[in-house]
Amino acid sequence: MAQFLTKLTKDFNNVLKLTRDEKPNYYAKLFENTLWYPKLKERKLTSSKASQEVTVAFKQASKPTVVVPQQEAASVEQTVLAPKIEVPITPPKRKIDIAAASSTVESSRTIKVNNDINKFLSQYSTSWDLESIPGFKDYQGEVDIIFFGLDEIEEGELPDFLPLSMIESDQDIMGRMIKAMKISSGRFIRVPFIKKDAREFLFTCCAHFKPRLLISLGAAATNLCLDKRVRLANVHGEFHSIQIEVDGNAQLIDVMPLFHPKLLEVNESMKKTAWTDMQKAIKFLSS
């Protein structure tokens, strides 16, 4: 029996091809299915070399360029590259220059706005009226912030009531964040992304409510506000100045993009980043 076990052990070691300084080659296979390590193709790799390459790959994945390629060998002759995975990251912190936030106008557009906002709203629904907005009784002619883009409303799904709100609410994560900012009722307004004439609707609200700051929630809302396609991971928490023209008069609006609250619900690690951005908004308003 002892001789049989000795023979099995010898045969097993021969199959693994052990050397003095190396562990079995098969250990390297452990890393094949990890996200940041490509599959081994037609070559053997010792565990020591695998460890070194995995360390390098991990360090590269930790750098600000978080584009992670996945590769899959389709055949011996051809390799098919899988789609790249982009992981949102938080850019390095920088000092906020509140004084310079409005110094450069990044974009301007001409928006024709009806002086009678109630008449404008009646184009969507005859039941839409400003006085029906929750918290409107506390409105004093201007607001500190417009939060834009929390909800998206399709053209054929317009509700019977005006979908704006000026009161705090702890029913969703956005409401809890607004409440934590301690903004009084009537000093902010939540404006949804209405697909029908989205720009005109938003900037009509801006012209009427005169916000000191417009916070765009998510990529779609940010692209509409800045009138260009941007990567939200690169611009969130930063201040951008845009200018609109309302009935021949220029109006300057400061915009700060923020990650969409729905993203925060599925990725709790982003909540700290979002709250840091919200604190920048608080500092901006107190300056």
Is the pLDDT at 283 greater than 80? The verdict is yes
Is the pLDDT at 98 greater than 70? The verdict is no
Q: Assess whether 119 and 221 both reside in one domain.
A: yes
Domain presence at residue 117: yes
Average pLDDT over residues 104-121: 70
Q: Assess whether 45 and 178 both reside in one domain.
A: no
Domain presence at residue 164: yes
Position 110 scores a pLDDT of: 61
Position 47 scores a pLDDT of: 42
Q: Assess whether 217 and 246 both reside in one domain.
A: yes
* Residues 6+ positions from 269 with CB-CB distance below 8 Å: none
Domain presence at residue 128: yes
Is the pLDDT at 174 greater than 80? The verdict is yes
Is the pLDDT at 205 greater than 70? The verdict is yes
CA distance 182 to 244: 29
Percentage of the residues of the chain whose pLDDT score is greater than 70? 60
Domain presence at residue 92: no
Position 55 scores a pLDDT of: 45
Q: Smallest Cα–Cα separation from 26: which of 57, 51, 47, 41?
A: 47
CA distance 62 to 119: 53
Position 235 scores a pLDDT of: 96
Identify residue 75 by its one-letter amino acid code.
Answer: S
Q: Assess whether 279 and 151 both reside in one domain.
A: yes
Q: Assess whether 251 and 154 both reside in one domain.
A: yes
Domain limit, last residue, from 86, 118, 143: 86
Q: Assess whether 247 and 142 both reside in one domain.
A: yes
- Confidence tier at 109 by pLDDT (50, 70, 90): low
Domain presence at residue 202: yes
Q: Assess whether 263 and 220 both reside in one domain.
A: yes
Position 257 scores a pLDDT of: 97
Q: Assess whether 259 and 143 both reside in one domain.
A: yes
Average pLDDT over residues 212-235: 95
Domain presence at residue 207: yes
Q: How far apart are the first and last CA of the chain?
A: 85
Average pLDDT over residues 60-82: 42
pLDDT in tens, 239-269: 999 988 877 788 899 999 999 999 988 998 8
Query: Which range among 76-80, 139-143, 279-283 shows the weakest confidence by mean pLDDT?
Result: 76-80
Domain limit, last residue, from 65, 86, 107: 86
Q: Assess whether 133 and 233 both reside in one domain.
A: yes
Domain presence at residue 93: no
Greater pLDDT, 84 or 131? 131
Position 104 scores a pLDDT of: 57
Domain presence at residue 45: yes
Position 96 scores a pLDDT of: 40
Q: Assess whether 53 and 118 both reside in one domain.
A: no
Q: Which domain holds residue 242?
A: 98-286
What's the CATH code of the domain at 244?
3.40.470.10
Average pLDDT over residues 17-36: 43
Domain limit, last residue, from 37, 52, 86: 86
Distance of CA 169 to the CA centre of its chain: 22
Q: Provide the Cα torsion 240, 245, 249, 255; round to 10°.
A: -20
Q: Assess whether 233 and 104 both reside in one domain.
A: yes
Helix pair angle (198-209, 219-226), 10° resolution: 70
Q: How far is CA 172 from CA 4, 43, 116, 168, 178, in A?
A: 69, 53, 32, 10, 10
Q: Assess whether 112 and 173 both reside in one domain.
A: yes
Most confident of 34-43, 62-71, 130-139, 165-174: 130-139
**The length of the chain, given as a count of residues:** 287
Is the pLDDT at 80 greater than 80? The verdict is no
Residue with tokens 């404006």: 191
Q: Is pTM beyond 0.75 here?
A: no
Q: Please give the helix or strand (H or E) that residue 214 lies within, else none.
A: strand 213-217
Position 1 scores a pLDDT of: 56
Position 22 scores a pLDDT of: 46
* Number of domains present in the structure of the chain: 2
pLDDT, the chain, mean: 74
Is the pLDDT at 71 greater than 60? The verdict is no
